[in-house]
Structures are given as structure tokens and as C-alpha cells.
């Protein structure tokens, strides 16, 4: 439980500094509890375009801060911890994009939002896990180079036979650690449970799932479902909101390694410090920002 005095300090600073606190479902429950808004990557990006506060404190990983800044360049976006970074965001190189563009001149480069601003600047359209299928379906190009996540790309490609996909080999180490064998074992222990998985999981795990979706889609599905027990195939931070909304349902994570060390860098103390100092601010160089905002804006358009 977060210290009461610290929470009071945060509430006071939030007012004084004209700030709003945004958090992703993977950060610690006590950070989610103090945030003004908690959501999946798409929700957080969309929200950034409507915020009327001067300072946005982002409790999540680097690419989320960059996306908020790109979509809302007039605001200060402050990271609760600037070292909280998503390894997947760095798993593709510009040279690779250029090589694929040379080989397939008609290709659309579709980048998962879990990517650096620099990679976005070299892409045509962005997607998140909740809108990837809809956005790619609405792209006119037939050939799609999907970066960096291999699993999400393959998952949506199965539902889009009219497209030709070129995949990349990026992955999320947290979701990759969830194995088919572990899901089968969890199902043996909880035979009545429904399996809910994030599309960053490997294909064999997704085949065992009753539902596949983004973090907020998993939460909505579990909340609306008649089932009472669920096996959760995504990062453990999501259990906080699942349990808040469904106190009478039971949630089990597949294993004990579903833990994103970067998301867990965010603490209540760091949120207080970020509010106090309004540092570190997200800075995206102008020449990158100009092009990196375009695929995010295109995503908003195609996701409608
Ligand atoms: P979503 O919240 O969009 O499902 O994304 C999951 C994720 O890995 C964020 O880093
Ligand atoms: Fe990146 Fe995976 Fe952590 Fe999400 S859970 S921030 S994809 S490492």
C-alpha cells in the first residue's frame, strides 16, 4: 500500500502543476490506483490528443511517452521513469525497412506502436494490438511489412488472406515466456477456466485461447463473460484491474514469469518526483517528429 502522505503530496502537486497522470495496465496496481486514466496503448495514445492539462505524467514505457508527445506536441510529456523502455521497440533497423522497400516497391510498412519514434518516422502506418486488424484491413496496399512484432503480425495475417505479409522477427520476452505447455498445465489445474491471451503470445499459445485481445479488450471480455475463472496470458499487472472490476471472479496467470521489468520500474515515489520536477520530459527531435507523427495520425484515421 502506498504511503498516505505521499499520495496526498501527489494529489496536491497534480493540482498545482496542472498535470494529468496516465498509466498502462502493466504498471503496479498502486500506480494504476493513483492515475487519472489507465488504459491500453491505443487508449493512452488517443487520450493524448484530447488532454487539456499542460503536463502529462506517463506511467509506462518510453514509446508510450513518445507517442503521447508526437500526438500532442504542445504539451509537456514527462516519463515517470525514463529508463523504462520496451526492448521490442528496438528490434528492427532502418536499414531493414529500406531494404524491404527496395525489394517490394508497393509495400506498406506497418509498425506496431511498440517501436521508437525513429522507426515510426520510416513507417507508413502505426497499429496497436487493439486496432491492428481493422487498420491493416483498411490499408489499400496488398503487401504489408509488419514490424517489429512477429507474433502480432502473424496473428492478424491469418484473418487477412487478401494481404501478402512480410514478417519481422521482433518479440516481447514477457509474452514469449508463456508456453503452450504451461497453458495446458494451467488448464489441467483449472479445467473450467477460459484462457485469455494477448496477441504478442506465440501462435501455439493463441490457438489454445478462448479469447485474444489487447489488455483492455481482455479486461472487457472477462468483465462481460459469464465464466467465473480465467487463465490470463499477458503481463501480470493486468490482474489489478481485472480483480477491481470482478471481485467475485478468479484470475490465474499462466506462470510466474509474466512480469515486465520495465513497466515495474514505475513506482509511486517516481510519480511524485516526476510531478515535482516535471522531468524527464520526452523530447523528439523536430526532423524525426515531423515524420513520426504521420503514421500515428494515419492509424487514428484508419481505426475509425
Ligand atoms: P496493449 O495494452 O495495447 O494491449 O499493449 C500491450 C503492451 O505490450 C504494451 O507494452
Ligand atoms: Fe515491451 Fe513486452 Fe514489456 Fe510490453 S510487456 S513493454 S511489449 S517488454
Grid coordinates representing 258 are 509474466
Would you say the C-alpha torsion 166, 171, 175, 181 has a positive or negative sign?
positive
- Residue 304: pLDDT band (50, 70, 90) is confident
- Ligand 2 atom index nearest CA of 60: 6
Q: What is the pLDDT of residue 256?
A: 82
**pLDDT of amino acid 181:** 97
Task: Give the closest ligand to the alpha carbon of residue 215.
Answer: 1
Q: How far is the CA of 86 from the centre of ligand 2 (A)?
A: 5
**Same domain membership, residue 166 and residue 99:** yes
Q: How far is the CA of 199 from the centre of ligand 1 (A)?
A: 9
| Cβ of 84 below 6 Å from ligand 1 | no
Residues 81 and 18 in one domain: yes
Q: Are residues 24 and 60 in the same domain?
A: yes
pLDDT in tens, 273-292: 999 999 999 999 999 999 99
Distance CA 4, CA 63 (A): 31
Q: Are residues 150 and 217 in the same domain?
A: no
Cα atoms in the 13 Å half-sphere on the side-chain side of 27 = 31
Please give the share of the chain, as a percent, with pLDDT higher than 70: 100
Residue 90 burial by Cβ neighbours in a 10 Å radius (0-12, 13-18, 19+): middle
Distance CA 19, CA 68 (A): 14
Cα separations (Å) of 213 from 60, 150, 156? Answer: 19, 16, 11
164-216 pLDDT tens trace: 999 999 999 999 999 999 999 999 999 999 999 999 999 999 999 999 999 99
Asked if 45 and 69 touch (Cβ cutoff 8 Å), the reply is no
Task: State residue 292's pLDDT score.
Answer: 98
Q: Is residue 258 part of a domain?
A: no
Q: How confident is the model at residue 227 (pLDDT cuts 50, 70, 90)?
A: very high
Assess whether 153 and 293 both reside in one domain: yes
What is the whole-number distance in angstroms between the Cα of residue 263 and the centre of ligand 2? Answer: 8
Q: In this structure, is residue 33 part of a structural domain?
A: yes
Instruction: Give the number of the ligand closest to the Cα of residue 175.
Output: 2
Mean pLDDT of the region 233-252: 97
The answer to whether the CB of 72 falls within 8 A of the CB of 92 is no
- DSSP E strand boundaries for the chain: 19-24, 37-39, 55-59, 76-79, 108-112, 125-127, 143-147, 164-167, 194-197, 211-212, 229-233, 250-253
d(CA 75, CA 242): 31
Specify whether 146 is located in the same domain as 291: yes
59 — alpha (psi -120 to 50), left (phi > 0) or beta?
beta
* Ligand 2 centre distance from Cα of residue 20 (Å): 23
The cell numbers describing 52, all together, are: 487539456
**Mean pLDDT score of the chain:** 96
Number of folded domains that form the chain: 3
How far, in Å, CA of 11 to CA of 112, rounded? 34
Ligand 2 atom nearest residue 260's Cα:
3
Q: Tell whether pTM > 0.85.
A: yes
* pLDDT at residue 1 is higher than 70: no
pLDDT digits (tens, 9 = 90+) for 94-142: 999 999 999 999 999 999 999 999 999 999 999 999 999 999 999 999 9
Nearest in space to 195 (alpha carbons), one of 185, 94, 281: 185
Distance 87 CA to ligand 2 centre (A): 7
Convert the pLDDT of each residue in 37-60 to its tens digit: 999 999 998 898 899 999 999 999
Supply the CATH number for residue 38's domain.
3.40.50.10800
Q: Tell me what percent of the residues of the chain surpass a pLDDT of 90.
A: 95
Q: Are residues 195 and 182 in the same domain?
A: yes
Whole-angstrom Cα Rg for the chain: 19
Q: Which domain holds residue 114?
A: 88-172+286-302
pLDDT level of residue 244 (50, 70, 90 thresholds): very high
Instruction: Identify the helix (H) or strand (E) that includes residue 42.
Output: helix 41-48
Amino acid at each position: 500500500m502506498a504511503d498516505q502522505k505521499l499520495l496526498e503530496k501527489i494529489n496536491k502537486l497534480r493540482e498545482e502543476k496542472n498535470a494529468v497522470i496516465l498509466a498502462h495496465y502493466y504498471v503496479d496496481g498502486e500506480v494504476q490506483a493513483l492515475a487519472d486514466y489507465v488504459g491500453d496503448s491505443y487508449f493512452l495514445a488517443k487520450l493524448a490528443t484530447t488532454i487539456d492539462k499542460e503536463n502529462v505524467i506517463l506511467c509506462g514505457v518510453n514509446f508510450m511517452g513518445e507517442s503521447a508527445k508526437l500526438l500532442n506536441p504542445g504539451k509537456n510529456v514527462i516519463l515517470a521513469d525514463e529508463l523504462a523502455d520496451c526492448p521490442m521497440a528496438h528490434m528492427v533497423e532502418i536499414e531493414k525497412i529500406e531494404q524491404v522497400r527496395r525489394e517490394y516497391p508497393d509495400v506498406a510498412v506497418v509498425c506496431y506502436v511498440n517501436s521508437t519514434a525513429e522507426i515510426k518516422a520510416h513507417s507508413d502506418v502505426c497499429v496497436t494490438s487493439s486496432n491492428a486488424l481493422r487498420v491493416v484491413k483498411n490499408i489499400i496496399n496488398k503487401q504489408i511489412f509488419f514490424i517489429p512484432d512477429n507474433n502480432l503480425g502473424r496473428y492478424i495475417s491469418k484473418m487477412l488472406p487478401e494481404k501478402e505479409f512480410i514478417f519481422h522477427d521482433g518479440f516481447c520476452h514477457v509474452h514469449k515466456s508463456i508456453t503452450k505447455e504451461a497453458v495446458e498445465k494451467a488448464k489441467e489445474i483449472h479445467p473450467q477456466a477460459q484462457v485469455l491471451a494477448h496477441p504478442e503470445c506465440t501462435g501455439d499459445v493463441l490457438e489454445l485461447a478462448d479469447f485474444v485481445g489487447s489488455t483492455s479488450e481482455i479486461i472487457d471480455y472477462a468483465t462481460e463473460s459469464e465464466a467465473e475463472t480465467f487463465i490470463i496470458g499477458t503481463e501480470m499487472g493486468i490482474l489489478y484491474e481485472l480483480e477491481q472490476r470482478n471481485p467475485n471472479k478468479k484470475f490465474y496467470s499462466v506462470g510466474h514469469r509474466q512480469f515486465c521489468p520495465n513497466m515495474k520500474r514505475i513506482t509511486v515515489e517516481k510519480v511524485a518526483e516526476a510531478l515535482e520536477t516535471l522531468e524527464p520530459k520526452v523530447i523528439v527531435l523536430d526532423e524525426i517528429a515531423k515524420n513520426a507523427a504521420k503514421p500515428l495520425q494515419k492509424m487514428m484515421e484508419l481505426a475509425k
